[in-house]
Each structure stands twice: as structure tokens, then as C-alpha cells.
Amino acid sequence: MNEIHNAKNIQEIINDLNNKNFEKVTKKLKFISEEKIYLNFEFWKKQIDIYENNFQIKINKFKLFTNIGVIFFKLGKITKSINFYKFSIQDNPNFSLAYNNLAISYFEIGMFEKAAENFEIAFKLDKNDLNAQKHLINILNLIQPKYNNNESIINLNYRINSEIKKLNIKNYFDSKNIKEILYLCNNLIENFKNDLIFNETQIFRKNSNNLNCLRHFKVFNEFNIIPKFCFGCYKIQINLFTVIDLIKLYFIFDNISLTKNNMRKCMVETRNQIKGNYKGYIYCTGIEEAKNILEVINQEIKIANLSRFKIIIKHGCSEFYQLYPEYEKINFDGEQVMKYNEKWSTKEKLIDERVPKRNDNDKKVWGKYVKGINLSDILIINNWINYADIIGDFSYKEIFEKKIQTNFLKKALENQIEFRKNNF
């Protein structure tokens, strides 16, 4: 990539800054990032110094610094983006967006504690920044910071962890125990001074491996081909019929011991016309691993005494099945019906070439989820209970009698309530 040294381009940006045309500056900087032009760190600092020394009208430097930080992030130069976000904060310590972006950069390279600190500052500065709030709640699945006497989301999460441990519950599948946990946690949440909005419906337990699903869907959506990785991807799907059983499955997934600590999730279905309301998934690499884990999960489900369930092994993602029905078919005793077309590899390379190369300091780090009940888990279970109420699954009243209302679910289900009720 070429270094930016075109004086005309720089002068245009400086003129826009001088006239306070920040929207134009942002567009030009965005264009630069999309063209993947290399931004020299010292060069930009020099240009900003020249601007300051030659123009009387002062600019909002913090906005410029933040925009450059975003460009560095998009180019995969995470540590340089961190430097510019810090410059922005030095110029304006009350600019919440800079803290939020700084936290995202720290999160990207595995500095989770620093990420949490900066998400918390961003949210304190702007209580309407639901992005910072969501990121902060999510990151607490990876770390458990210590209590520090502040009225904060971090400390609310800490209190939930510690109070549940004090209960010393041995059987998480007993409805009375589930009820005790939910009321305890929701009382802590209700006493928290800030409203918590968390529009999530899936609870994950992840290892530190990256399945790279977003990349694979880019390949499929652009070229209508199934990526090579997905031919070795299998998942165990567990269909459930009551929200109580979904919560019990969540406890199974939190405590289950698998050799590779396979990624797993529990969720409610919100996609239109997709059958099944309550689901759990365990992601496997290869059919033999899926068959072995199927035996393990069957035993765990018997212990949990789920009322009604169905377990199947699926090949990759359902989104591939309509275009490639042969991919869906599984041969449990030999080679699969559909095999990867090696000619597709050239198209996969086109997608990969768009991703900027990173040095070792800038590489993405994938964290491992901690075991135990966190704030995010309780907020999502609350959303599940609201979902159950909307579709007429009143089994939840056995474990939680209060009404929980979340507008985002009501809107998501408004055109499919009858479909969901029929599934129930």
C-alpha cells in the first residue's frame, strides 16, 4: 500500500477542518480507509502540528484523532488505533466515543481488563450509549474483575457471581433452585440505579477457537459457494418445547465437561418461518466427534430430567441447504454425499485478500468464557421468559411469576406470533 504524501489531499482536509466541515473530513477519511491506503503515524502527527501552527481557528482535534484511529483499526493496525484514541482522550477527556473505540481495540488484541475499564468510562459519560453498555456486559463473560465499591455494571456482575456462590446449590435442575436464583439476581438488578437494556437472545459458552462464521457467510453470500471449512463442521441441535427446559439446558452447557470444550449456545428462535422455539447447539469438528458428544449430552439430559426434547446432528448451517440440498444429507458410516469443489478456493481467496494483514502485536485474540452465572446470562434468561409469555408458554410461571417486558422481542415476533404458538 502506498504512503499518503499527496499535498493536495492533505490541503483539502486541512481546508475542510479550517471551515469546520467535519462531515466532509469524515467522508474523506472513510474513503482513505476503504481504499486501504497506508496512513503513516508520524506523517499525520506532523500534518496536525502544521495545521495548528498556521491557522488561528482551533479545530476539535479529538474528532480527527478518533477518525484516524478508526481508519487504523480498519486497516488492522490495532496498536496504532489505540495511540490515536488516547490522543483524542487527552484532547477531550469527556468524549465517550473515544473511550468506547479504545475499549474495542483493547478487546481485539485480548486486553480484556483494559477494555472493560474503558467501556465502563464510556457508559458513565453517556448513559444512552447502549453499545458501550452491551459490550461491557458481554466482556464480563471473559473476565471477572474484583469489586471496587463503585455503583457499576462490573460490580453488579461481581455481586451476582458472589451471591449465587453463597447459595451453594448442588442441583441446578430443580425448579425451586432456579426460582431462587432468578429472584435473587433480579432483585440485585432492580436495585441497580441504571436501567439495563440488553437485546440479546443467545447464551454462549465459547472456547478460544475462532470458527470464523462471519467470514464463511461472506463467501457464501457473495459467491453462493460453501467454504471448505464448513464441510468439516457439524453441530448437535437440541430442540426443546418449554422455556424451563431451555434454562435447564443452559445449566447443562455451563457445567458440561467436553474434551475440547466445544462452543455451545442456547437460544430462542426469532427468525421468521424457522421452525422450533427453543434450541441448543454444540459445534463439532467432524462427524465422529459429533457422534461421541451426542452420547455425552444424552446422558446429561437424562440427569436434568427434561420433559420433552429432540436431538439431531446437522451438517453446517441451514442457510446452505436450499441451494445445496446434498450438503444437508449426512452419511454416518462413510464419505459424505457432497464434497468441496476445489475450484471454489480461488473465490475464497478473493474474500481473504480483502482482510488487511496484521503483525503479531495486532492479531485478534479470542477469549475463553468463564464458567458460572453472569449478569448477561440473567438478562438473556429474562428475555427468554418474556419470549415465552409472548408465545403463550406459561410454564415459566413455575420459576418466575413477575412480568418481564422487552420491546425488542415484541417487535421481532409481531408477524410470527401464531407461527410460534403453533410450534409450541
pLDDT tens for residues 265-300?
Answer: 999 999 988 899 999 999 999 999 999 999 999 999
Strand partners, 312: 237
Please give the residue that has the higher pLDDT: either 44 or 78. 78
Cell of 181: 436464583
Assess whether pLDDT exceeds 80 at residue 219: yes
Assess whether pLDDT exceeds 90 at residue 213: yes
Predicted local confidence at residue 35, as pLDDT: 46
Q: Computed from CA positions of residues 56, 62, 66, 67, in that sequence, does the dihedral angle turn out positive or negative?
A: negative
Assess whether pLDDT exceeds 80 at residue 20: no
- 423 close to 273: Cβ distance less than 8 angstroms: no
Residue 197 CA, chain-centre distance (Å), reads 15
Nearby residues of 366 by Cβ (< 8 Å), 6 or more positions away: 110, 206, 208, 209, 210
Please give the residue that has the higher pLDDT: either 395 or 13. 395
Per-residue pLDDT reduced to its tens digit, 220-272: 999 999 999 999 999 999 999 999 999 999 999 999 999 999 999 999 999 98
Band of the pLDDT at 1, cuts 50, 70, 90? very low
Nearby residues of 89 by Cβ (< 8 Å), 6 or more positions away: 62, 95, 98, 99, 102
- 213 close to 366: Cβ distance less than 8 angstroms: no
Is residue 178 within a helix (H) or strand (E), and if so which, with residue range?
helix 175-190
Predicted local confidence at residue 32, as pLDDT: 54
Assess whether pLDDT exceeds 90 at residue 14: no
Phi, psi of 403 (to 5 degrees): -85, 135
Predicted local confidence at residue 404, as pLDDT: 83
In the 8-state DSSP scheme, what is residue 192? S
Nearby residues of 262 by Cβ (< 8 Å), 6 or more positions away: 207, 282, 283, 284, 289, 293
Band of the pLDDT at 42, cuts 50, 70, 90? low
Nearby residues of 2 by Cβ (< 8 Å), 6 or more positions away: 37, 38
In the 8-state DSSP scheme, what is residue 3? B
Nearby residues of 78 by Cβ (< 8 Å), 6 or more positions away: 72, 105, 108, 109, 358, 361, 362
Cell of 406: 422487552
- 293 close to 283: Cβ distance less than 8 angstroms: no
Strand partners, 310: 239
Per-residue pLDDT reduced to its tens digit, 72-87: 888 888 998 999 999 9
- 393 close to 424: Cβ distance less than 8 angstroms: yes
Assess whether pLDDT exceeds 50 at residue 93: yes
- Percent of the chain past pLDDT 90, that is, above it, reads 68
Please give the residue that has the higher pLDDT: either 313 or 36. 313
Mean pLDDT for the stretch of residues 401-415: 87
Band of the pLDDT at 185, cuts 50, 70, 90? very high
- 307 close to 241: Cβ distance less than 8 angstroms: yes
Q: Residue 386: left if φ>0, alpha if ψ -120 to 50, beta else—which one?
A: alpha
Band of the pLDDT at 95, cuts 50, 70, 90? very high
Q: Where are the alpha helices (DSSP H) in 305-357?
A: 325-328, 345-353
Predicted local confidence at residue 30, as pLDDT: 58
Predicted local confidence at residue 144, as pLDDT: 86
Cell of 8: 493536495
**Whose grid coordinates read 483494559?**
114
- 423 close to 275: Cβ distance less than 8 angstroms: yes
Determine the Cα–Cα distance for residues 287 and 293; give it in Å rounded to an integer.
Answer: 10
Per-residue pLDDT reduced to its tens digit, 22-40: 567 666 665 554 444 445 5
Band of the pLDDT at 11, cuts 50, 70, 90? low
Residue 189 CA, chain-centre distance (Å), reads 22
Average pLDDT, the chain: 88
Per-residue pLDDT reduced to its tens digit, 140-158: 999 988 766 678 899 999 9
- 256 close to 172: Cβ distance less than 8 angstroms: no
42-56, 158-172, 381-395: segment of lowest average pLDDT: 42-56
Q: Report, in angstroms and rounded to the nearest whole number, the Rg of the chain calculated over CA atoms.
A: 25
Q: Where are the alpha helices (DSSP H) in 305-361?
A: 325-328, 345-353
Cell of 403: 412480568
Predicted local confidence at residue 69, as pLDDT: 87
Band of the pLDDT at 407, cuts 50, 70, 90? confident
Instruction: Give the CA count within 13 Å in the CB-facing half-sphere of 337.
Output: 9
- 387 close to 409: Cβ distance less than 8 angstroms: yes
Give the count of beta carbons closer than 10 Å to the beta carbon of residue 170: 7
Cell of 274: 424457522
Domains of the chain (ranges; CATH) run 7-139 (1.25.40.10), 202-362 (3.30.70)
- 81 close to 73: Cβ distance less than 8 angstroms: yes
Determine the Cα–Cα distance for residues 408 and 121; give it in Å rounded to an integer.
Answer: 26
Give the count of beta carbons closer than 10 Å to the beta carbon of residue 164: 19
Mean pLDDT for the stretch of residues 164-190: 94
3-state secondary structure at position 20? coil
Nearby residues of 5 by Cβ (< 8 Å), 6 or more positions away: 43
